[in-house]
Amino acid sequence: MPSPVSETPFEVAIPGGVLHGHVGGEGPPALLLHGGAAVTDYTDGCARELDGVFRTMRYQQRGTYPSVADPPYSIEAHVADAVRVLDRFEIDRGWAIGHSWGGHLALHLAVSHPERLLGVVCVAPLGAFRDVLAEQDANLRRGLTEAQIARVEEVERRRREGVVTDPELVERMSILWPRWFAEPESAAPCPITHIGARCSTEVNSSLSEHFAAGTLARQLPGLGLPALFVHGDRDALPLRSSTATAALIPGAVVATLPDSGHFPWLECPGELRLAVEDFLAKP
């Protein structure tokens, strides 16, 4: 296992609140964007794996403890927050590394502010197309009991109605967590302790609006940045979430990791780093 990264806590003031994060490692600067949205930052292990390749700035995104921020909770607000983190460290241009929803956010950052990025690395990302979500949900429910499925669907219904609570979302995550792994019985302990209910609801609404508008599908073909997609072939989020999105970007590369689910740095340690190093070494 990689040695612990020597990280330093940091804060970034944003309108109506403050973001809390950690910076550490050696290499070119990179924002490390966790998935969710609105879940506890869990990317410390990813930062360890990439130490020496990147100096990472990972932070708790708005809407979830310990970061605090007034609304809006939208893709645009998250993009603005990412730019403020770059500004906090006086970084003219850096990499954006995003996992899951964080990969989707990295792509929005890339098309909105390409002048601030050196490139993007999307790890098991939610890509440009909504249709993968139905397959993902079916994969996550496979192997659950009828009672578990009923509870997951009840929490989802409450989220859509805007009445769900933080503990209910954490409960839903705990039920589904093992299904994100290629071997659910060997899943790592779930690190998610907080999920901001309002942020989760409103970011999902923002996602739906952008999917309907085709924002990424329209804008990614004009992206002139290096782009790497890394995706496990046994991920509940289907591989085509990466391949179909990468096909939109000139020169984008897809690295498929065999026998990996949604968290490659946990399931196949070292493989994510090798994929990134190989990508960076190519002219």
Predicted confidence at residue 283, as pLDDT, reads 79
Give the pTM: 0.97
Q: CA of 22: how far to CAs of 10, 33, 243, in Å?
A: 6, 12, 31
Helix (H, G, I), strand (E, B) or coil at 195: strand
Which domains does the chain show, CATH number per domain?
A: 7-129+192-281 (3.40.50.1820)
Q: How far apart are CA 85 and CA 19, in angstroms?
A: 9
Q: What is the pLDDT of residues 157-172, one digit of tens each?
A: 999 898 999 999 999 9
Q: CA of 275: how far to CAs of 34, 179, 231, 249, in Å?
A: 19, 24, 10, 18
Q: What is the pLDDT of residues 237-270, one digit of tens each?
A: 999 999 999 999 999 999 999 999 999 999 999 9
